[in-house]
Amino acid sequence: MRTQVAVIGAGPAGLLLSFLLHEAGIDCVVLEARDREYVRQRVRAGVCEQPTVELLTSLGLGERLAAEGMPHEGLSLRFDRADHRIALTELTGKAITVYGQQEIVKDLIDAHEARGYPISFEISDVQLSDVDTDRPRVAYRDSGGNAQVIECDAVAGCDGFHGVSRPSISDNLTVFEREYPFAWLGVLARTPPSHHELIYTHHERGFALHSMRTPEITRLYLQVDPHDNLANWSDDRIWAELTARLEVEGDFALREGPILDKGITPMRSFVAEPLRHGRLFLAGDAAHIVPPTGAKGMNLAIADVRVLARALEALLRGDESLAAAYSDTCLRRVWRAEHFSWFMTTMLHTDPHADGFARQLQLSQLRYTTSSRAAATSLAENYVGLPFA
Q: Are 352 and 302 in contact (CB under 8 A)?
A: no
Task: Return the pLDDT at 45.
Answer: 78
**Structural fold of domain 180-267+350-383:** D-Amino Acid Oxidase; Chain A, domain 2 (3.30.9)
Domain boundaries, the chain: 5-46+100-173+274-344, 180-267+350-383
Distances (CA, A) of 285 to 53, 160, 163, 274, 331: 20, 4, 9, 14, 13
State residue 389's pLDDT score. Answer: 79
Amino acid at 161: F
Q: Summarize pLDDT for 109-133 with one digit per residue, the tens.
A: 999 999 999 999 999 999 999 999 9
159/161 Cα distance (integer angstroms): 7
Confidence band of 361 (pLDDT split at 50, 70, 90):
very high
Environment class of residue 375 by beta-carbon count within 10 Å: exposed (0-12), middle (13-18) or buried (19+)?
A: middle
Residue 43 pLDDT exceeds 80 = no
The pLDDT assigned to 41 comes to 87
Task: Please indicate whether residue 383 is annotated as part of the active site.
Answer: yes
Go through 22-55 and write b for each residue having 16 or more CB atoms within 10 A of its CB, e for each that does not: beeebebbbbbbeeeeebbeeeebbbbbbbbbbb
In the CATH scheme, what is the code of domain 5-46+100-173+274-344?
3.50.50.60
Question: Is residue 274 reached through a cis peptide bond, with omega within 30 degrees of 0 on the bond before it?
Answer: yes
Reported confidence tier of residue 342, pLDDT bands at 50, 70, 90: very high
The model's pTM = 0.95
- Residue 359 has a CB neighbour count (10 Å cut-off) of 14
| pLDDT at 237 (0 to 100) | 98
Q: State the pLDDT confidence band at 57, using cuts at 50, 70 and 90.
A: very high
User: Does the annotation count 192 as an active-site position?
Assistant: no
72 among known catalytic residues: yes
Concerning whether 292 is annotated as a catalytic residue, the answer is yes
280-282 sheet: strands from edge to edge: 119-120, 28-31, 5-8, 154-157, 280-282, 276-277
Separation CA 251–CA 237 (nearest Å): 23
Whether the per-residue pLDDT at 25 is higher than 90: the answer is yes
Answer for the pair 75, 91: CB distance below 8 angstroms, yes or no.
Answer: no
DSSP state of 97: E
5-46+100-173+274-344 and 180-267+350-383 agree in CATH topology: no
Q: Confirm whether 38 is a catalytic residue.
A: no
Mean pLDDT of the chain: 97
- 8-state DSSP, 142: -
Cα distance between residue 136 and residue 134, in whole Å: 6
pLDDT-based confidence at residue 6 (cuts at 50, 70, 90) = very high
Does residue 46 surpass a pLDDT of 90? no
Helix or strand holding residue 115 (H, E): helix 101-115
Give every CB contact of residue 8 below 8 A, 6+ residues apart in sequence: 14, 30, 31, 126, 138, 155, 156, 157, 158, 159, 163, 164, 165
pLDDT score at 250: 86
Catalytic residue, chosen from 72, 195, 202, 349, is 72
Give me the pLDDT at residue 369, please: 98
Q: Which of 200, 210, 277, 288 is an active site residue?
A: 200
Per-residue pLDDT reduced to its tens digit, 187-241: 999 999 999 999 999 999 999 999 999 999 999 999 999 999 999 999 999 999 9
pLDDT in tens, 151-192: 999 999 999 999 999 999 999 999 999 999 999 999 999 999
Nearest-angstrom CA–CA distance, 31 and 1 = 13
User: Residue 289: beta bridge partners?
Assistant: 270
